[in-house]
Amino acid sequence: MRNRTLEQYMKEHLSFYIFVGVIFVTGVVFGAVMVNALSLEQKQEITRYLGNFFARVQQGALEGDITGSFKDSFSMHIKWVLLIWILGLSVIGLPLILILDFLKGVLVGFTVGYMVGTMSWQGLLFALVSVVPQNLIIIPVLLVCSVTAMAFSIHLVKNRFVSRNGSIYEPFMRFCGVSVASTALFVGVSLFEAYLSPVMMKWVTPMLAALHLA
């Protein structure tokens, strides 16, 4: 029964996942291309910021305020989920959800693209321990939230303007359930970013010291 329900769900929403996935990947590519469009002054400013950040990591500054790091990380993630949830409740929020997915892709693409483009394999190594692990969960969760929000928004359109006989209770509860489950997952992601990520970054930071980023 569960397999049949999952199969039906994927059949109904596969096109949504493909579309949202393409939007996200487009954002990643756009973010990576943006690195080449930076001026020399902008690159120098970012390089100085990274140099200061690496110095703080080496000194263990990120390991000092674990509670604050957890709150900041969780607050950032929950804002994305809450914003997608609010936009999903309105018909006009549909294109804005896609814009959020595109912007998330831009952030990831720019961050990884700048590190790799500026620091070569050392930058790739740092990205693998500082950006990639948590995003292996963050990105799929946000995409699932986005698709669920889009599906609910489209259901609202059909219910209001096409057929007024359909009930929105089940789609709404599914929508809320996905949002709650996403919040729970982001608690785990925030714990990882607060406790483990600083330690992992501290391991590889000495390899970046030779680049004289400060």
Half-sphere exposure of 88 (CA within 13 A, CB side): 27
- At residue 194, the pLDDT reads 87
Strands (E), 96-170: none
Q: At what angle do helices 132-157 and 2-37 cross, to 10 degrees?
A: 120
d(CA 175, CA 177): 5
- At residue 130, the pLDDT reads 85
Q: pLDDT tens digits, the chain, 214 residues: what are they?
A: 445 466 777 777 889 999 999 999 999 999 999 988 888 888 888 878 877 777 777 776 666 667 888 899 999 999 999 999 999 988 788 899 999 999 999 999 999 998 888 877 888 888 888 888 999 999 999 999 999 999 898 888 777 655 555 577 788 888 999 999 999 999 999 999 888 888 888 887 777 655 544 4
- At residue 63, the pLDDT reads 61
- At residue 26, the pLDDT reads 97
- Smallest Cα–Cα separation from 143: which of 85, 110, 101, 96? 101
